[in-house]
Structure formats: structure tokens, C-alpha cells
Structure 1
Amino acid sequence: MGHDISGVNKVGKEIAYARFSMGNYNATILYSVLDADEYYAGVSGSGGSSTFSIQQMEKALNTFNQLYNNEDSMSENDFLTWDKKQIVEFLQNCLATAKEEGSVRVYFG
């Protein structure tokens, strides 16, 4: 069990992926900035999906950057550093696809 969150383009090709173990509370960061808490099912995602616009992805990335990129990285553990990296890469890849195609679909497994 765990959180396997995938971003896909219009033809269904995976363009972004984030993986969190079932006990990794940092998964809630990604659900939260995407305003997708209804897809959080505790030890995994709900299995649902949603389509996000360019504006929604921009907002998610901006929110993440405001909340988490201003922290002192010297005080972070390696686990949080890794999770922050995978979250920002996920959001950037989804935003790039949304800009190319008008939207991006995200699956919460």
C-alpha cells in the first residue's frame, strides 16, 4: 500500500509520478496543494482522478513554493528533502503538460 500519484497527458501517457509509502505523511502536501484532499484515503489514494487546468496547476506550484521552498534546508531531514523534490518535479511536469494541452489528468492511487 502507498500513494501512487500519476499525471497523464490527453493520450494517457504518464508524464509525472510521485510515490509515497503508506506511512509517509508528506503525501498530504501534494493532495493539499492540488486541493484534492477528497482523493486522500489514508494509506493510499482513493483510486479516483481529476482534470486540472493550467491555472490550477500554477496555483498548486505557487502554493507549494510559498509554503515549502522558504524553509531552512539545513534543518530538514533527507526524507523531507526527497519528498519536496518529487513534489515540485511532479507539479512542474503537470504544469508543462497543461500548458501544452490545456489541462492534465491526475490519478490518485
Structure 2
Amino acid sequence: MGHDIYGLNKAREEIAYARFSMGNHNALLLYRLLDAYQFYAGVSGSGKSSVFSLQQVEKAMKGYKKFFKTAAPSESDCTSWDQKQIFLFIQNCLETAQKEKSVEVYFG
């Protein structure tokens, strides 16, 4: 059990991935940044997906920057693995949404 969260482009190709064990509270942070609590099912995601607009993903990135008080973790930064994977997940979704106007996120 755990949270496997995938970002998918319009061709349904994986463009982002985040993995959290079932007891990792940082999974909730990603759900919160995406405003996607309805897909949180306790020890895993709900098994459902949703399409997020460019504006929603931009809001998630803005929330990330506000929460962590940084634009992006640097390579030399001693930030947590989860902070980096949350950033990369949102960043990859944002890049896709900028090209395609939206991105699908699957919460497994």
C-alpha cells in the first residue's frame, strides 16, 4: 500500500510520478497543493484521476513556493527527498499544462 501519483499528458503518457509510503504524511502535502483531498483514501489514493487546468497547476506551484519559501530546491540543498519529488512532480505537470492547457493526474 502507498500513494502512487502519476501526471499524464493528453496522449496519456507518464510525465510525472510521485511515490509515498502509506504512512508518509508528505503525501497529504501534495494532495493539499493540488487541492485534491477527495482523491486521498488513507493508505493510498482513490484509484481515480482528474484533469487539472494550467491555472490549477500554477496555483499548486505557487503554494509549493509559499510553503517551502523557495522557488526550487537546489542540487546542493539538503532538502528532503519528498520536497524534491513534490517539486519535480508539480514542475513536470506545469510544463505539460503550459503546452497542452491541462494535465491529468491519477491518484493510486
Q: TM-score, normalised by structure 2?
A: 0.90
Cα shift readout 1:58-79 (whole Å, capped 9, x = no counterpart): 0001101101235xxxxxxx7x
Aligned-residue CA RMSD (Å): 1.5
Instruction: Report the equivalent of 2:89.
Output: 90
1:28-67 matches, cutoff 5 A? 28-67=28-67
Displaced runs of 4+ in structure 1, greater than 2 A? none
How many correspondences in the alignment?
Answer: 102
Q: How does 1:6-25 map to 2 (within 5 A)?
A: 6-25=6-25
Paired residue type of 2:90:
L
Percentage of matched positions with identical amino acids: 61
The structure with more helix, counted as a fraction of residues? 1
**CA deviation string 1:31-83 (max 9, x = no partner):** 0000000000000000011101111000001101101235xxxxxxx7x7110
Gaps of 5+ in 1: 71-77
Secondary structure at the aligned position of 1:45 is classed as: coil
Separation of aligned partners in 2, 1:28 and 1:84:
12
